[in-house]
Amino acid sequence: RSTVRHRALLAATSLAAWLRSENIADGWNIAVCLNPTVWLPVALLGILRAGDTIVPLDPTAELEWLTQRLDGYDVELIICDSE
């Protein structure tokens, strides 16, 4: 269990480093539309570690709802899975 937690923390740190290297840090609004897997908390933690704001999206929601949600925020990046 500690190994899984350690790997998740490393992945979140890597995401935060990538966001910073791409100048996507310190105040960007990043939408997250992920199914509840181990990658969801990794993405959330990585975004927060980069100093960005999370805009949560429900991956099971209708496209119209998602579009309305995105229209209300100045989202610069969407993190999603392939489903």
The H or E element spanning position 55 is strand 53-56
**Backbone angles phi and psi of 17, in degrees to 5:** -65, -40
**Whether the predicted model's global pTM rises above the 0.85 cut:** yes
DSSP β-bridge partners for residue 78: 31
The predicted-structure confidence for 3-54, as pLDDT tens digits, reads as follows 988 999 999 999 999 999 999 888 999 999 999 988 999 999 999 999 999 9
Contacts of 59 (CB under 8 A, 6+ apart): 33, 34, 35, 80, 81, 83
